[in-house]
Structure 1
Amino acid sequence: MLKKLLVICLATFATLAFAHNHKAGEKDIVDTAVEAGSFNTLVAAVQAAGLVETLKGEGPFTVFAPTDEAFAKLPAGTVESLLMPENKDQLVAILTYHVVPGAVKAADVVGLSSAKTVQGQSVKIKTYGGAVMIDEAKVVATDIMATNGIIHVIDTVILPE
């Protein structure tokens, strides 16, 4: 019951946060992130990694999208270093760790204990204190629909081992 209530609350928040910008599911994952305005660092990283066309592709993909504030939590200079061409492989690994193949809605995420990412490793999924956690990141908005998948917003950048 608590899980269902949490899913409903997070879905309502996501709907309110993005409804004024566009109708859900009319844009792909990249365009949805750009239009939201709170994923500027993520979009810059996706561009630097050469993943724009992939995430504009058919999919479907589920993206656990860190906000600009999530990237700001990283140690000073980390983002700038990752955006350098010589660190592209590391950036690709981090970004693809945030992507799960298929369209996984919030109601399905809460029933999982892990999910294999495009990067190859699995993220841990747990419900803790009424919140859904992806590794150490808290899911703060869910089920933002795009034409090629779903975005779930997280408050921390997750890192592969």
Structure 2
Amino acid sequence: MITKTFFAALALTGALAAPAFAQDGKSKSDAEKTKTTADGMTTKTKMADDGKMKVKGKSDAGDKMKAKTKPRQGDAMGGSMSTTTTSTSTSGVMVGGAMMTPDKDIVDNAVGSADHTTLVAAVKAAGLVETLKGSGPFTVFAPSNSAFDKLPAGTVNSLVTPEMKPTLTKILTYHVVPGRLTADQLSNGQVLTTVEGEQLTVMKSGSSVMLKDAKGGMATVTIPNVISSNGVTHVIDTVLMPAK
């Protein structure tokens, strides 16, 4: 998704603004080539006489990208560019305005998402932070803030109270499946046994993945395959409910 162009955009920004980056990193150039190192990204840029530009980038984490740009027809040098990018690897997935990266665990990635503040608060209230920071691996179906907003008014405020901790824990662990299951490993009709003990049923059509809970409720995976160091998270648009 967005991540396929993230490093390309970062590298192009560095390439087109090399003097500014030079204050924080290292750069060297000749008549047509520029090499810039800043913010953990090394970028090599080659400019041709006709205005075409080739950019290669590599981060300290080993992520690589390649990009080519050329002036749009009729534009002068330095004008608007059209860009074609290809990425040989990606650093993560953008969720809630933050980049979720494989070097962080499930919890550390989740706390960066502006779309999962309710879930993070619930995980803390249930005392599940250390569990989900464990070695796992886990597959987590993570309801967004808007998913919690679908619940009856007052439900979330009630669930995070100390006396409701057992119920909250039951609901949250119903969203966790042992093992690391990416979207391509889920199949239509597949039954998943959750950490809570009850089951979820996968309903899949093409690349679309939905989950049916024990009460017949349905949730759609809106962002799949958010890889963390101890598992994988799939963002869903509805809170799943166990039968009991």
- Give how far 1:22 is off: 3.5
Distance 2:230 2:110 in 1: 13
Distance 2:206 2:181 in 1: 22
- CA RMSD in angstroms, aligned pairs only: 2.1
Q: How does 1:26-41 map to 2 (within 5 A)?
A: 26-41=103-118
Which of the numbers 126, 129, 132 marks the counterpart of 1:55?
Answer: 132
Alignment deviations for residues 80-99 of structure 1 (CA, whole Å, 9 cap, x no partner): 01001001000000000000
1:89 aligned partner: 166
Q: Which has the larger radius of gyration?
A: 2
2:219 aligned partner: 137
When the two structures are superposed, what TM-score results if normalisation uses the length of structure 2?
A: 0.58
- Give how far 1:50 is off: 0.3
> In structure 2, the residue corresponding to 1:57 is in which secondary structure?
coil
Label 1:122 to 1:48 Cα distance change in 2 as closer, same or farther (>3 A): same
Amino acid at match of 2:194: T
Distance 1:76 1:140 in 2: 24
Amino acid at match of 2:238: T
Distance 1:160 1:91 in 2: 11
> In structure 2, the residue corresponding to 1:160 is in which secondary structure?
coil
> In structure 1, the residue corresponding to 2:112 is in which secondary structure?
helix
Contact 1:13 1:141 in 2 (8 A): no
Label 1:23 to 1:96 Cα distance change in 2 as closer, same or farther (>3 A): closer
Label 1:149 to 1:127 Cα distance change in 2 as closer, same or farther (>3 A): same
Whether 1:106 aligns to 2:183 is yes
- Give how far 1:141 is off: 0.7
2:232 aligned partner: 150
The structure whose residues are more often strand, as a share, is: 2
> In structure 1, the residue corresponding to 2:94 is in which secondary structure?
helix
Gap runs ≥5 in structure 2: 4-91, 213-217
2:143 aligned partner: 66
1:78 aligned partner: 155
Label 1:38 to 1:53 Cα distance change in 2 as closer, same or farther (>3 A): same
1:119 aligned partner: 196
The structure whose residues are more often helix, as a share, is: 1
Q: Which has the higher contact order (CA 8 A, sep 6+)?
A: 1
> In structure 1, the residue corresponding to 2:169 is in which secondary structure?
helix
> In structure 2, the residue corresponding to 1:145 is in which secondary structure?
strand
Distance 1:39 1:145 in 2: 16
Identity of paired residues, percent? 49
